[in-house]
Amino acid sequence: MIPFIDFGGSGQPLVFLHANGYPPGCYQQLLTKLAGHSSVSAMVQRPLWEGSRPGKINDWHPLTDDLLCFLDERPSEPPIVVGHSLGGIVALRAAIRQPERFKALILLDPVLFPPSFIFLWRVARALQLGHRLHPLIQVARKRRRAFDDLEKVFNGYRRREIFRYFNDEALRGYITGITKPATDGGYELAYSPEWEAQIYLTSVWRDLELWQGLRSLKPPLLIIRGAETGTFLAATGRRVVRTNPSVSVETIQKTTHLVPLERPAETFDLILTFLAQMANP
């Protein structure tokens, strides 16, 4: 059985898929709001499973297999599926494969790059240059793994530029979400740097099929991007809409790739508006 966290709520089932390096607990503010509208389950993806090995994957297809298996294990009416970053691509690929399984898709700054970038990354992988060229792989491998005091972590993170749009509550939630008690005292990362690096290394190169599938995607799709993201660029959003004019793309100002953590209320409002428009077109 694939693990998940039940965030409660009632009514329409909603499945949430977290990003690489960001366990479901990081999204407490957004998921609590969504639970006021739907019955929310946050699937725990493979990198967080006990005993899972990064070397077992060579692309992200197995993660999509996991989502479809999760839906098999929890039969219900087709759910709304919300995915951030990696989670968005996992959901999109699943909906292209089996569209009848999904009521709607909401992708939060998904890791979707234009075909030219995908081609270049395929060349880099073929030349075995991925480890050297991907800017986040070495960052992940050098990530600090153990912590004595989460309040000290908060004070240190509060000064970092990457968290400039986090309020204090969101930042504390993020720190709590990425850590777990260590067996010998203190805290440790819940999401291993080895898995984080492997997700980066195995990304993108199979994603030309996503552009092909987008042309005839059947479930309604909303994409929410950060205005200052370096991942899902404005030009990519325009290309998505040209590929499939039924897709909605929204941008939240003063946000980055971490938009659902930085602006959970605004993200929730856009999701709610989209679902209301689906119900009353």
For 13-23, the pLDDT digits (tens) are 999 999 999 99
**Interatomic CA distance for residues 210 and 109, integer angstroms:** 15
Q: Is 242 in contact with 250 (CB distance < 8 Å)?
A: no
Q: Round to the nearest angstrom and report the end-to-end CA distance of the chain.
A: 37
Is residue 170 predicted with pLDDT exceeding 90?
Answer: yes
Summary mean pLDDT of the chain: 96
Q: What residues does each domain of the chain span? A: 4-279
Q: What is the pLDDT of residues 31-62, one digit of tens each?
A: 999 999 999 999 999 999 999 999 999 999 99
Sequence-ordered list of residues with C-beta below 8 angstroms from that of 29, at least 6 positions apart, any chain:
169, 170, 173, 261, 264, 265
Q: Specify the pTM.
A: 0.96
Sequence-ordered list of residues with C-beta below 8 angstroms from that of 31, at least 6 positions apart, any chain:
7, 16, 24, 40, 42
pLDDT of residue 130: 85
Percentage of the chain beyond pLDDT 70 is: 100
Is residue 29 predicted with pLDDT exceeding 90?
Answer: yes
Side-chain half-sphere CA neighbours of 40 within 13 A: 23
pLDDT of residue 280: 85
Q: Is 268 in contact with 34 (CB distance < 8 Å)?
A: yes
Q: What is the pLDDT of residues 97-138, one digit of tens each?
A: 999 999 999 999 999 999 999 999 999 989 988 888 898 999
Right CATH for 4-279 from 3.40.50.1820, 3.40.50.410, 1.10.1660.10, 3.30.160.270? 3.40.50.1820
User: Exposed, middle or buried, 100 (CB in 10 Å: 0-12/13-18/19+)?
Assistant: exposed
**Interatomic CA distance for residues 46 and 2, integer angstroms:** 9
**Interatomic CA distance for residues 149 and 144, integer angstroms:** 13
CA angle 89, 28, 95 (to 5 degrees): 20
